[in-house]
Amino acid sequence: MAFMVAAYLVIWLAVFVFLISMVRRQSNLQREISALREVSQERESAK
């Protein structure tokens, strides 16, 4: 029984680490998209 509880804890820990990783990646992508939009707007206004 102890092994089963330990296995569930490891699995849930892995799921939380994966989710945190995904949230960080999405946040970085959002920042990059915002920066690209700003550059694109600057180039459009320069024309």
Instruction: Look up the pTM and report it.
Output: 0.72
Domain boundaries in the chain? 1-47
**Mean pLDDT along residues 3-28:** 98
pLDDT class of 42 with cuts at 50, 70, 90: very high
Buried b / exposed e over 4-42, threshold 16 CB at 10 Å, is eeeeeeeeeeeeeeeeeeeeeeeeeeeeeeeeeeeeeee
Over range 25-43, report the average pLDDT. 97
Query: Alpha-carbon distance 4 to 39, whole Å?
Result: 53
Looking at the predicted structure, is the pLDDT value of residue 19 above 90? Answer: yes
Residues contacting 30, CB < 8 A, separation 6+: none
Q: For residue 47, is pLDDT > 90?
A: no
